[in-house]
A = this chain, B = another copy of it.
């Protein structure tokens, strides 16, 4: 097992309690790295696939860069005081390694198989994409027994129809998931929605999803949003999907389809920190595209958002 600093506190000998990591292999959240699921409560998983993008590719390198920036992540959430590594066994179990990357359907199938294996062992997955097309097969796994609810941060509803002769692209995972019976639209809320492609999202409204546009979010505020999320998803099993383009391009330039007029990183953190106690069955952070992230702030943000997700999931342990 390759040691990260998450568990073993291996930096303590250097003095300062929490140090940025300047040597050793980069792992997600500095978690111990292992290529199996032994002794694992939460699995951090890279999904380096961007075969579902419509516009700018590159999110396949998201997992690698979020790992690189994880060296700047410590161990305690200063606001909620949660220490995820103190609560449960978190491991970076590596990347999904696909055999077919040139056929979107095949890739989607492979991802589903991978996550069915995770879920079947009672491990909670926190995934780093890759583009948003990966959320559909993950939902097929985490919703395989009963449809799950969804908390979805994004600039786009991603409930679009087929495009370019495929319905599995990154603009449609949540329509696919509802149609596959693994996602409950009435327990789904989409936050931060905006932009000029609104016509693509008719399915969200038709299926009964809650769509919280960015101007609605700004109006009801962080507290109001937290309440509306809780009201929507209730106590049932719920998945959390965070597309980094929910944030304004100023905060997240490194993504495939940035949309101006978005959330700040502070707002995103505050909403996430208000979601403790829900029955989360997994989470993902998608669409970090390092080639558009010259200053590296998007991957750093991604690492922080994965940390928030780990804090939330760790609360059930």
Contact = CB atoms under 8 A, between A and B. Distances in A.
A75 B199 contact: yes
A19 interface: yes
A198 interface: yes
A106 interface: yes
Contacts of A58: 56-58, 291
Interface stretch (A96-104, A118-126, A178-186, A225-233): A96-104
Contact of A196 (B74, B169, B213): B74
B291 A291 contact: yes
B292 A296 contact: yes
A2 B35 contact: yes
Nearest to A198: B78
Interface string A239-282: 00000000011110110011011101110011000000000000
A161 B16 contact: yes
Given A18-B200, A249-B251, 19 more contacts: A14-B163, A16-B54, A17-B160, A22-B54, A23-B46, A23-B97, A24-B95, A64-B68, A73-B196, A74-B196, A74-B197, A74-B198, A78-B193, A79-B215, A100-B166, A101-B164, A215-B270, A260-B265, A294-B295
Interface of A: 2-3, 13-20, 22-27, 33, 35, 46, 48, 50-52, 54-58, 60-61, 63-64, 67-68, 71-79, 81, 94-104, 106, 160-166, 168-169, 171-172, 193-200, 213-215, 218, 248-251, 253-254, 257-258, 260-262, 264-266, 269-270, 291-297, 300-301, 304, 307
